[in-house]
């Protein structure tokens, strides 16, 4: 199948591109390179430099017998989304509407959407399943939920079959080092720890150690980006074979705390990685862990590389290139 991967030069997007090519698909990457990197572009994929907010560039990309779209292009900083909602509304929601309209004009009806655990908000029970109440705590999560609701209408009215994949915490790098781009000025835990380990950041600030968790620090469901990427291939197969849409969690089901990741990183990198506990970060829940039983049942998906050592080892293999 010819798949257009929008955001395919990004950290997760480029891993999805490699997985789609490995599964025998033809891939064209569409990216504005606002955060995606040219170094992440995969040799087997064509590249269109375009922006989802400009419909003409989208129509041109879709005209080349595209049969499915994977959309991962979004701004994702939860904190920034609360200060600049207009930026997130315009790009995340407005941009996706442009994509959907360009797709229906071109007769493309398979859509894989990068959604997020952020649609759930504060957990009311754990592990989180797909029936958990959806009350996003930040505008970023709101944009993801709004897009999922739009997709329901485009399925009913325009026959767009979609898979909304609710990622928990993506981490790690492909073991074959097919992707080697580093996120600039990361806010997520593992890239921050890697930046401290390679000496470009002085210390890790631990956002609170007084949570009701086994060691007081925040627990999250980290899922290896290669596991996530495989989930996209399986989701495309699913909607193609079943002519049906679904929303599904992609999580490893095992929670890791900040301190557990930090100690694994110190051991694997052999670096001190200085850390200091500071106040809690606004909006952080104590624990967020998924059940991916539904993903297993529908997509046949399960996390295979999401143990703490694989997450840290595969990250360090890439980061230590940039010492
Ligand atoms: C993880 C844990 C922090 C940085 C975010 C988005 C979410 C999704 C994944 C897109 C928490 C702690 C972190 C640091 C720390 N993104 N931490 N010091 O907040 O769980 O989720 O990324 O879909 O939508 O909200 O990820 O990596 O920021 O935090 O102590 O410098 O690490 O408190 O417990 P988060 P994170």
Pocket test for ligand 1, best of 220, 221, 285 (most atoms within 8 A of CB): 220
Residue 323 pLDDT class (50, 70, 90 cuts)? confident
Angle at 128 between CA 316 and CA 182, to 5 degrees: 20
**Region of residue 279 (phi > 0: left; psi between -120 and 50: alpha; otherwise: beta):** beta
Residue 206 has pLDDT above 90, yes or no: yes
CB 251 within 8 A of CB 117: yes
11 is catalytic: no
Strands (E), 60-150: 68-71, 110-116
Asked if the domains 2-171+223-250 and 189-221+253-322 are classified in one and the same CATH topology, the answer is no
- CATH class of the domain comprising 189-221+253-322: alpha beta
Q: How confident is the prediction for the chain on average, in pLDDT?
A: 97
**Overall average pLDDT of the 137-163 stretch:** 98
The residue extents of the domains of the chain are 2-171+223-250, 189-221+253-322
Residue-wise pLDDT for 162-186, tens only, equals: 999 999 999 999 999 999 999 999 9
User: Are 8 and 29 within 8 A, CB to CB?
Assistant: yes
CATH of domain 2-171+223-250: 3.40.50.720
Does the pLDDT of residue 117 top 90, yes or no? yes
Q: Note the pLDDT tens digit of each residue in 64-87.
A: 899 999 999 999 999 899 999 999
Q: Which residues line ligand 1 (CB under 6 A)?
A: 76, 78, 116, 118, 167, 169, 187-189, 192, 204-207, 218, 220, 258, 281, 284
């Amino acid at each position: 199948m010819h798949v257009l991967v929008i955001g395919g030069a990004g950290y997760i997007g480029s891993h999805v591109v490699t997985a789609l090519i490995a599964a025998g698909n033809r891939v064209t990457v569409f990216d504005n390179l606002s955060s995606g990197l040219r170094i992440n572009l995969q040799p087997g994929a064509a590249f269109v430099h375009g922006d989802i907010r400009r419909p003409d560039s989208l129509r041109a990309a879709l005209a080349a017998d595209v049969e499915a779209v994977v959309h991962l292009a979004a701004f994702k900083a939860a904190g920034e989304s609360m200060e600049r909602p207009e930026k997130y509304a315009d790009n995340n929601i407005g941009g996706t509407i442009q994509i959907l309209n360009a797709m229906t004009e071109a007769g493309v009806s398979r859509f894989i959407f990068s959604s997020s655990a952020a649609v759930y908000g504060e957990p009311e029970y754990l592990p989180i399943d797909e029936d958990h109440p959806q009350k996003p705590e930040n505008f970023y999560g709101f944009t993801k939920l709004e897009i999922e609701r739009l997709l329901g209408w485009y399925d009913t009215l325009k026959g767009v079959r979609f898979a909304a994949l609710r990622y928990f915490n993506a981490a790690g790098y492909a073991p074959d080092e097919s992707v080697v781009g580093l996120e600039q000025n990361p806010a997520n835990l593992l890239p921050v720890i890697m930046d401290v380990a390679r000496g470009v950041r002085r210390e890790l600030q631990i956002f609170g150690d007084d949570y009701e968790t086994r060691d007081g620090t925040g627990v999250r469901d980290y899922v290896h980006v290669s596991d996530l990427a495989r989930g996209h291939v399986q989701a495309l197969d699913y909607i193609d074979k079943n002519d049906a849409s679904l929303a599904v969690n992609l999580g490893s089901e095992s929670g890791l705390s900040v301190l557990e990741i930090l100690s694994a990183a110190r051991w694997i990198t052999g670096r001190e990685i200085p850390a200091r506990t500071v106040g809690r970060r606004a909006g952080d829940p104590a624990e967020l862990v998924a059940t991916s039983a539904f993903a297993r049942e529908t997509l046949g998906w399960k996390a295979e590389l999401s143990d703490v050592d694989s997450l840290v080892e595969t990250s360090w293999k890439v980061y230590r290139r940039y010492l």
